[in-house]
Each structure stands twice: as structure tokens, then as C-alpha cells.
């Protein structure tokens, strides 16, 4: 599934006897990635976790991969420079692809500010990639300032802060657009779960 150039020519793909379809059949739903993208404070983590809770209640196999958590381990070696942000999303995209193969409803919460990087993940994962744009206005995200980061960014204490000193390229054709500034969390959760049901990713319970 990887588009990366291998460094060694002696690596041979080993097929699995248990296919994605077999895993999906026993799970009772498809594997897919809900890729939440948006500014810091736009509600990605809150929404991803609330959607996961709802799906878990529907007996689905789920997992949230959160940007902040990944930077404690898998991507602890990466900074917030443009180059490292690209690598961050590449690694997570590959990982999300593995989760889809495992038949899991995977929810990722990454700012993922660059369109090209998200499109690369889309090309790795294919039709099971569902881009969810948390398109909450910058002013609302900044007024929430959940982690106090906007204040620090405005004071010049955080370089390359998305929306302030680093760009955010909004998706042009996301599968879903969720405005957490205008709607309660439960309304946003229903919007996402209804989409999955409508697309036959999971059946209504
Ligand atoms: N409808 C909503 N969906 C998600 N978050 C919301 C909503 N309404 C208000 N919020 C609040 O907005 C904040 C979003 O923060 P967070 O989920 O950490 O954002 P991000 O992960 O995008 O940086 C939280 O404090 C959350 O309680
Ligand atoms: Mg978050």
C-alpha cells in the first residue's frame, strides 16, 4: 500500500491469509478513516473522540489517532517546520492505512494544514478516506484557546503556528464539513455518524 520508494530492493511483500474483507465481515462494518482536519481548537479531538464513543456504542471496532499523542512517540523526533509536518502526516497516513486494512473505523485528529499532504493520504487509502473539515472560524478557535497556544503564538512565542504564522489550506472537496462553532457537539456527532450510515460504512443500530 505504500507509495514510498524503498531503500532496499530485497524487501518482498508478504500477503496475509486473513483479508481486509474477512476482517470487515467479522467486524460487521467497513474499515475507513475519518480524517479530521482544521485549525487548532476547531474541535478535531473533541469530535473524533465523541464520534468514537458513539461508534463504540454501536459495537464498532474503532481507534482515535490524535496528533498530540503521536508526537509523544512515533513522531517525537519531528518539529513543526513545513518539512517535518509533511513527514508527520506521511507516517500517520501510512499508519491509518494499516488500520483500515485491519478493518477498523479509524479517526485521526491532525491539523494537517497542507492540502497536498492530505491528498497523498487520500491516494494511499483510496475510497475509504473520508475527509472531515472542522471549518470553525479562526476567531472562534482563538477565543476558545483551549491550550493557551494562540495567546503564545500572538506573543511570538510559538513559531510556525497554523492560522497565525503558518498557513492552513482548507480542503476543496471534503466529504464532510462540520462547523463546531455553530452547532452543539451532539449535532456534529450525528452529522458524521449519519454520513457513515448513508455511505453503508456501518449499519444503523
Ligand atoms: N460542537 C463542538 N464540537 C467540538 N468541540 C466543541 C464543540 N463546541 C464547542 N467545542 C469546544 O471546542 C474545543 C475544541 O478543542 P479541541 O477538540 O482540543 O480542538 P483541536 O483538537 O481541533 O485542537 C473544546 O474545548 C470543545 O469543548
Ligand atoms: Mg486536538
Residue 35 pLDDT: 98
> pLDDT for 131-182, tens place per residue?
999 999 999 999 999 999 999 999 999 988 999 999 999 999 999 999 999 9
How large a percentage of the chain has pLDDT more than 90? Answer: 88
Buried b (16+ CB within 10 A) or exposed e, 147-170: eebbeebeeeebebbbbbebebee
Cβ within 8 Å of residue 119, ≥6 positions away: none
Residue 7 pLDDT: 80
Residue 2 pLDDT: 52
- Among 38, 46, 54, residue to substitute to test ligand 1 (most atoms within 8 Å of Cβ): 46
Element at 134 (helix H, strand E):
strand 129-134
Indicate whether residue 137 lines ligand 1 (CB < 6 A). no
Indicate whether residue 31 lines ligand 1 (CB < 6 A). no
- Among 134, 180, 190, residue to substitute to test ligand 1 (most atoms within 8 Å of Cβ): 180
Look at residue 67 and tell me whether its pLDDT is greater than 60. yes
The bound ligand whose nearest atom lies closest to the alpha carbon of 192 is 1
Q: What's the mean pLDDT in 42-71?
A: 96
Sign of CA dihedral 121, 123, 127, 131: positive
Cβ within 8 Å of residue 63, ≥6 positions away: 52, 99, 104, 105, 106, 107
Indicate whether residue 120 lines ligand 1 (CB < 6 A). no
Instruction: Catalytic residue, from 40, 42, 45, 112: name it.
Output: 112
| CA 142–ligand 2 middle distance (angstroms) | 14
Indicate if 16 belongs to the active site.
no
- First-to-last alpha carbon distance for the chain, in angstroms, is 32
Domains and CATH numbers, the chain: 27-198 (3.40.50.300)
What's the DSSP call for residue 123?
A: H
Look at residue 11 and tell me whether its pLDDT is greater than 70. yes
Cβ within 8 Å of residue 198, ≥6 positions away: none
Indicate whether residue 171 lines ligand 1 (CB < 6 A). no
Strands 105-109 and 176-178: unpaired
Indicate whether residue 133 lines ligand 1 (CB < 6 A). no
What's the pTM value of the predicted model, to 2 decimals? 0.94
Tell which residue, 165, 18, 44, has the closest CA to residue 108.
44
> Based on the number of CB atoms within 10 Å of its own CB, is 84 exposed (0-12), middle (13-18) or buried (19 or more)?
middle
What's the DSSP call for residue 47?
A: H
Amino acid at each position: 500500500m505504500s507509495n514510498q520508494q524503498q531503500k532496499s530492493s530485497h524487501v518482498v511483500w508478504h500477503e496475509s491469509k486473513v483479508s481486509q474483507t474477512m476482517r470487515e465481515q467479522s467486524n460487521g462494518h467497513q474499515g475507513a478513516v475519518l480524517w479530521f482536519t482544521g485549525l487548532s481548537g476547531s474541535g478535531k479531538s473533541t469530535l473524533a473522540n465523541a464520534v468514537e464513543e458513539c461508534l463504540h456504542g454501536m459495537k464498532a471496532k474503532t481507534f482515535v489517532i490524535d496528533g498530540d499523542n503521536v508526537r509523544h512517540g512515533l513522531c517525537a523526533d519531528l518539529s513543526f517546520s513545513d518539512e517535518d509536518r509533511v513527514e508527520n502526516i506521511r507516517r500517520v497516513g501510512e499508519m491509518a492505512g494499516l488500520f483500515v486494512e485491519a478493518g477498523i473505523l479509524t479517526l485521526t485528529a491532525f491539523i494537517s494544514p497542507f492540502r497536498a499532504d492530505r491528498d497523498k493520504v487520500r491516494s494511499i487509502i483510496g475510497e475509504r478516506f473520508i475527509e472531515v473539515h472542522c471549518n470553525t472560524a479562526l476567531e472562534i478557535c482563538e477565543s476558545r484557546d483551549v491550550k493557551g497556544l494562540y495567546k503564545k503564538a500572538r506573543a511570538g512565542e510559538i513559531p510556525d503556528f497554523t492560522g497565525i504564522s503558518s498557513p492552513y489550506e482548507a480542503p476543496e472537496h471534503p466529504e464532510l464539513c462540520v462547523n463546531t462553532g455553530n452547532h452543539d457537539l451532539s449535532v456534529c456527532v450525528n452529522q458524521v455518524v449519519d454520513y457513515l450510515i448513508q455511505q453503508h460504512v456501518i449499519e444503523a443500530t
